[in-house]
Amino acid sequence: MTALAAGIRYMITLYTWATPNGRKVSIMLEECGLAYAVKTVDITASEQFLADFVAINPNAKIPAIVDDEKQCTVFESGAILIYLAERCGRFLATIGSERYAALQWLMLQMSAIGPILGQVHHFHRFAPERVPYAIARFDKEAERLYGVLDRRLAETEYLAGAYSIADIACFPWIARHEWQEIDLNNYTNVKRWFETVGQRPAVQRGMLVPA
């Protein structure tokens, strides 16, 4: 619930833009029911390099959060998801195999799914010239990663068994499957998971942030 009503004191400020990495965090905030304010950082205008934001994230990347109540600043989307999960006691088991199941799929998203699909987006949509080698290379790896997800989701409803930060991390990237020229009908388990997660009201709200 974005805390937009008059009189609500924000506990958390989210610095974000309309990207998959940004939307991971807005989804998580909505799922946790935390009051938060949104400050847009327009990466198309290079606002992430302004001194005020670099003071929050030295790497000059969105998203980042400032939690005034806990006097804590966190950047890197995966770290933010872990922080919020532990803050709220939700979507990440505290001990045992369930915890590490969620963390390993979160790390796969951070190390492979995000970076590879981001390269697909770049070479298909933003590169100043077509680079056939790069397009073929990253398309092939994207298809492989969709296959990894599809095989996992043939075994379990969600990536870590129960709904977790791993699903929250992956969903906004899979939401851009059309950018990746991926037909979800070729990955029936991913499609089932994508539709299931996409029906969650908090996910729907989080995907609209920033407006």
**Half-sphere exposure at residue 168, Cβ-oriented, CA atoms within 13 angstroms:** 33
Long-range contact list for 73-82, CB < 8 A, 24+ apart? 77/21, 77/22, 77/24, 77/25, 77/110, 77/169, 78/106, 78/107, 78/109, 78/110, 78/169, 80/24, 80/25, 80/28, 81/24, 81/25, 81/28, 81/106, 81/165, 81/168, 81/169, 82/106, 82/165
Q: What is the mean pLDDT of residues 72-100?
A: 97
Q: Note the pLDDT of residue 107.
A: 98
- Name the one residue in this structure whose structure tokens are 């950047």: 75
Q: Would you place residue 211 in the very low, low, confident or very high pLDDT band (cuts 50, 70, 90)? A: confident
Q: Would you place residue 8 in the very low, low, confident or very high pLDDT band (cuts 50, 70, 90)? A: low
Q: Would you place residue 124 in the very low, low, confident or very high pLDDT band (cuts 50, 70, 90)? A: very high
Cβ atoms of residues 162 and 101 within 8 Å? no
Q: What is the mean pLDDT of residues 104-130?
A: 97
Mean pLDDT (the chain, rounded): 95
Domains of the chain with bracketed CATH: 12-91 (3.40.30.10), 96-202 (1.20.1050.10)
pTM of the model: 0.94
Q: Note the pLDDT of residue 10.
A: 64
